[in-house]
Amino acid sequence: MADIINDILTRTQAGGTALLPSGEFEGPIYITKPLRLVGNNTTVWTRRGSVIEVTCAGAVLENVRAEITESDFTTAAILARYGAIIKDVEVFGAVQGFGMEDRPFRFPRLIELGSFAAEVKNTYCIRVNMPTEADIICNTAGLSFSPSHLDAGDNEIKITAENFSVGSILYAEVLIKTMFTRRVYVSGRAKNDTEPADGKLLYEYYKAIDEPSDVISAVTSAPIRETPRADLRKGQRLTLQPYVGSSFDIRCSHSTPGMEIDPYVFLLDDDGRAFGYKGMVFFGNDSTENGSVRYHAEDGHISMDMDKIDYRVKRVIVTYSIYEDLTGLGFSQVRSPRVSLEAEGNERVTYSMYNIGNAPTVLALEFYKYNDEWRVYAAGMGYNDGMASLCNRFGISVID
């Protein structure tokens, strides 16, 4: 039960050590003060959603396993809103708040060799894209991985299974170690009537295959409601027309209580300069002169009509900034920040803003014209100096 561990955390003083019992406990658990959480063959799990959430600075996680049982590597099992020190922590699921570790981890959970030739050498190949450097640890006799050290980016890995006797069943646990430890499994069966495998490709997940381009192109002119929804990742670009047409709403959502985030929209010329004060739409100037961009005070969303955008406007920048009275807060403390484009009453494009850092202001989306069509770019760039820095960058003077 999560109550057992959360009770231990509650009773542990700031700066102290929370010693966990051995066994499996259903989460989630929350670390709200600086302390060491030390497991003893301890597993904390949830079916879905984060297993461990760190909402303070100065936390240390040590010798514990966090596992999501009904999801996959893409859901964050450990979510740190502040930096945390990690020592011998195993995770099944993604992580958030740990820099490059936050990127997708797509090493296969299970590597199935199937039937392979007994008594001889069998070689296989997998191709993976790693978010960061990693070491492969395999202690099963007759099974090896080469190279055993992986670089960040694309890697081709040779797997060798050799000298297994007839009828042997292979079931091995292999550890992939970055800052965290992840466990994968290898299975197969040695047979005497099977040809030796020679470089057989078992799995391929190169970045070049998963993301063949940073531009998502629509291949259909179907009505908007029939075009599949697009989920953007940071750095991707999308042609707007098939998804939202020319008129749509932009909304920013999150799940952090008490957090107020305001939108600011800049309309820029060829030189990247705003058209004076009227080139910025926000709560203090709720519309362009022709209504092409509007701020709606009732709920803070933005509406845009690209057909009405002044021909001199080459880029439209949508930014979000934490309300200035919440001094010292940044986007690393905003839970699940997300921007969506809505058309015809439906959510058509989404962008979940991860890896922004603790900046109080983020340049979320950039709209620009390419070959006479409007596109959107998922920028996700944080600005530590806040909104004043962006205003000055775009030619709008701000006096503190």
pLDDT tens digits for range 280-317: 999 988 999 889 999 999 889 999 999 999 888 888 99
Question: For the residues 393-398, what does the mean pLDDT come to?
Answer: 75
* Confidence check: pLDDT of 366 > 70: yes
Percent of the chain with pLDDT over 90: 40
> Is 104 contained in some domain?
no
Residue 233, domain member (yes or no): yes
pLDDT of residue 342: 92
Structural domain count, the chain: 3
Same-domain status, 236 and 182:
no
- 302 forms beta bridges with 250, 295
Do 250 and 199 share a structural domain? no
Task: Say if residue 23 is in the same domain as residue 116.
Answer: no
Q: Are residues 144 and 228 in the same domain?
A: no
Segment 120-161, tens digit of pLDDT? 999 999 988 888 899 999 999 999 999 999 988 889 999 999
Asked if 336 and 190 sit in the same domain, the reply is no
Residue 106 has pLDDT above 60, yes or no: yes
Instruction: Please tell me whether residues 116 and 186 are part of one structural domain.
Output: yes
Residues 187 and 220 in one domain: no
Domain boundary among 78, 99, 120: 99
pLDDT band at 215 (very low <50, low <70, confident <90, very high): very low
The least confident of 156-170, 209-223, 327-341 is 209-223
Tell me the sheet residues that pair with 36.
Answer: 17, 60
Residues 232 and 337 in one domain: yes
DSSP E strand stretches across 209-314: 215-216, 230-232, 237-239, 247-253, 261-268, 280-281, 293-295, 302-305
How does residue 108 score in pLDDT terms, banded at 50, 70 and 90? confident
pLDDT at 214 over 50: no
**What average pLDDT does the chain have?**
84
The H or E element that residue 63 is part of is strand 59-68
Tokens of 189: 């069966």
Q: Which residue has the higher pLDDT, 153 or 212?
A: 153
Per residue, the 3-state secondary structure of 70-105, as one string, reads CCCCCCEEEEECCCEEEEEEEEECEEECCHHHHCCC
pLDDT score recorded for residue 101 = 85
Which pair of structure tokens corresponds to residue 150?
A: 């992986």
Name the residue range of residue 124's domain: 110-210
- Average pLDDT in the 82-103 region? 87
